[in-house]
A and B are shown apart, each in its own frame.
Chain A
Amino acid sequence: MTHAPYDCTAALAELDAFLRGELPIESAERMQQHLVQCRHCTQIGHYEQAFRTRLQRLGQQLECPDALRARIHALLLDASAHE
């Protein structure tokens, strides 16, 4: 079985999955070995991670308003009372 060489193109194609922790362990190890040797991909990795972190912060700070939560609880109670 032959493998295509694991170069920057291959690494960058998997980078997002790697940063999300969605790469299988073997692929993740191969990625780590590549990153140790490749400054370019490491820099791109930092860039992507900075972007991702910024978006995650947006996602975490807003919660469902208490009033809406209460309304939905009331609706569900009401619905189960009519079953």
Chain B
Amino acid sequence: MPPSPTPSFDAEALPHLDTLYRVGLRLTGNAAAAEDLVQDTMLKALRAWGSFRPGSNARAWLVTILRNQFISGWRSAQRGAKPVDMEAIPELPDAGDPDPEGRFFAELVDEEVLAALDRLPDEFRDVVLLSDLEGLPYGEVAEALGIPLGTVKSRLFRARRILQGELRRYAEENGLIRPTESTS
């Protein structure tokens, strides 16, 4: 008898529980809801396992299911409007700025970085979440979110600038960026 061509659900899906939980936590905003969302996602994924194409990307496939579950069942009850202006894109620092190499980033507390991330519109937050926090390659982010590669790159570009601007402003206000001593 030939071996089954279908990889085992457990072997393909279980290694991605950490990623699913973290993404779920950012989407829902609380641990209990994230746990329920991940559990729902795994049940849904198990039932849909027959439609998974062997050799394709299980992580992106699972993230897609998680997001769809969230959008259909959870989103309406969650999260207020977000005030971040996505049109005014902050400039990158130039050599004359204090801390042009962004050393202040390392000093920011988690809560502040997460709060700034959560203020982004969903479609921008999601690309940063998958790409920068979870480390998915561009192609996998595109697959997980169901958007073209070019859209991933342009959203990522804009979202990172906005986020950097927000964090920079916070760092300035809280004394994490000190003026450089030389003023030449």
Contact = CB atoms under 8 A, between A and B. Distances in A.
For chain B, the bracket of interface size reads 35 or more
A36 interface: no
Contacts of B105: 50-51, 53-54
What is the interface of chain B mostly: helix, strand, loop, or mixed?
A: helix
Interface in A36-54: 39-40, 43-44, 46-48, 50-54
A65 B113 contact: no
B128 interface: yes
Interface of B: 9-10, 14, 17-18, 20-22, 25, 31, 35, 38-39, 42-43, 46, 92-95, 100-103, 105-106, 108, 110, 113-114, 128, 132-135, 137-138, 153, 156-157, 160, 163-164, 167
9 contacts: A43-B101, A51-B102, A53-B106, A58-B133, A59-B133, A64-B21, A72-B39, A72-B42, A76-B10
